[in-house]
């Protein structure tokens, strides 16, 4: 059997970015060949897991507070989550789509839904969150996501003005004064004494 690095065609010393690049290139090449895809995915997962453990240990040694990799270790798709967190939606989706059907767990659907939601693909996002919720009804995260989207579908949301700063009107002196007052109060002074 070939080593995972051979499968991906990278050196064992390659950086994570290089490995991801190689994985993506190969995934594109083999997208029609399920057997090759499975081999590729397994190799990629093996490397990621190894790397995750390595990082986990090193961070634990240096400072025990960093939980980033340990939370990822409990997650099946830690690497994809990290990609998503860094805002690389396209990359995250490509990695996610490379996972074969039999390994698509509730978490997979949850991540898929998150990506679709970020893109504004709301119809598909609802379906994915629903699927994740059905597969693991006990999971509070999936439940909350599904319920939130359902609220958005049924009810009307109103714009929230209280939290907004800035002046509502170009020529409204009162609100400008109030803003100025707030600013003064932030700095320790006061412009309007009664508020």
Q: Which two tokens stand for residue 105?
A: 């767990």
Q: Which is nearer to another protein, 32 or 169 (CB)?
A: 169
Residue 190 is a binding residue for another protein (CB under 8 A): no
Residue 154 is a binding residue for another protein (CB under 8 A): yes
> Pattern of binders to another protein over 9-48, x per CB under 8 A?
----------------------------------------
Q: Supply angle C-alpha 158, 164, 167, rounded to 5.
A: 115
53, 73 contact by CB (below 8 A): yes
63, 53 contact by CB (below 8 A): no
Residue 116 is a binding residue for another protein (CB under 8 A): yes
CA nearest neighbour of 118 among 138, 145, 79:
145
100, 34 contact by CB (below 8 A): yes
Pick from 15, 102, 138, 158 the residue near another protein by CB under 8 A: 158
Residue 186 is a binding residue for another protein (CB under 8 A): no
Binding site for another protein (CB under 8 A): 116, 119-124, 126, 149, 152-161, 163-171
């Amino acid at each position: 059997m070939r080593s995972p690095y051979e499968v991906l065609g990278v050196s064992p010393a390659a950086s994570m970015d290089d490995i991801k690049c190689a994985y993506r290139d190969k995934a594109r090449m083999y997208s029609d060949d399920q057997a090759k895809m499975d081999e590729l995915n397994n190799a990629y997962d093996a490397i990621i897991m190894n790397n995750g453990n390595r990082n986990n240990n090193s961070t634990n040694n240096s400072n025990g507070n960093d939980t980033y990799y340990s939370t990822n270790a409990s997650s099946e798709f830690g690497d994809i989550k990290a990609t998503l967190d860094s805002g690389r939606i396209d990359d995250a989706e490509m990695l996610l789509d490379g996972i074969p059907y039999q390994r698509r767990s509730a978490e997979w659907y949850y991540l898929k839904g998150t990506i679709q939601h970020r893109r504004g693909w709301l119809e598909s996002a609802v379906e994915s969150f629903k699927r994740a919720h059905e597969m693991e009804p006990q999971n509070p995260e999936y439940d909350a996501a599904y319920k939130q989207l359902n609220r958005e579908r049924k009810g009307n949301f109103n714009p929230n003005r209280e939290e907004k700063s800035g002046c509502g009107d170009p020529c409204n002196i009162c609100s400008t004064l109030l803003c100025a007052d707030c600013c003064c109060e932030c700095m320790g002074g006061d412009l309007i004494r009664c508020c």
